[in-house]
Amino acid sequence: MSFGPFRGKPVAATIFQRLCACRSITSSLARRAKKMPDRPALINEDEFTEVFLKGSGPGGQKINKTSSAVQLRHLPTGIVLKVQETRSRAQNRKIAREKLALRVEQLQKGEESRLAVLKATKTKRKASATKKSHRKYRLLSQAKEEGADNQPPEIAEA
């Protein structure tokens, strides 16, 4: 036997109705109207040459001895790309092919390419953060000046 506001009703349904009444549910997709361009398709094997080079930099003797760095040369455009992000040759090959596809797409599409859109988005976010920071410190300095103006003269001089 149940007592209280849920008398004779399924409890879960009533709680859900109350939650929906006081909360508005919005989709994050509606806010994000601009869709990123799709990742470009990987380039055919016959359009580039692949060379494995000895690595350099941090990683010690092991990275200097093994040929895990990958250099790709795209034959139609002449783009040369060297990748040594990991100690694994297989991972470097995969990363190099993805980067080469992005670079070729950037050359073909220009401002509509994925790299250009990513760069523009990053620049816009940085500018927004800088603007927000400047606004914050400007308001803080104004509040500090107003606080100094409102104090009695003997305290302000000390």
Position 145 scores a pLDDT of: 86
Architecture of domain 45-110: 2-Layer Sandwich (3.30)
CA angle at 37 for the pair 33 and 38, rounded to the nearest 5°: 125
CA angle at 28 for the pair 25 and 32, rounded to the nearest 5°: 145
pLDDT reading at 156 higher than 60: no
Q: Give the pLDDT confidence of 106-130 residue by residue, as tens digits.
A: 999 888 888 899 999 999 999 999 9
User: What is the average pLDDT across 131-151?
Assistant: 86
pLDDT reading at 24 higher than 80: no
Position 72 scores a pLDDT of: 96
pLDDT reading at 6 higher than 70: no
Task: Show me where the domains of the chain are located.
Answer: 45-110, 115-149
pLDDT reading at 11 higher than 90: no
Position 150 scores a pLDDT of: 66
Task: Evaluate if pTM is beyond 0.75.
Answer: no
Query: In angstroms, how far is CA 61 from the centroid of its own chain?
Result: 33
Environment class of 58 (CB within 10 Å of its CB; exposed 0-12, middle 13-18, buried 19+): exposed
Q: Give the pLDDT confidence of 32-61 residue by residue, as tens digits.
A: 557 888 888 888 889 999 999 998 887 788
pLDDT reading at 23 higher than 60: no
Residue 77 has φ and ψ, to the nearest 5°, of: -105, -20
Supply the Cα-derived Rg of the chain in whole angstroms: 30
Average pLDDT, the chain: 82
Environment class of 46 (CB within 10 Å of its CB; exposed 0-12, middle 13-18, buried 19+): exposed
Nearest to 37 by CA among 107, 115, 110: 115
Confidence of residue 22 (pLDDT cuts 50, 70, 90): low
Sort residue 78 into left (φ over 0), alpha (ψ -120 to 50) or beta.
left
Between CA 136 and CA 34 the distance in angstroms is 28
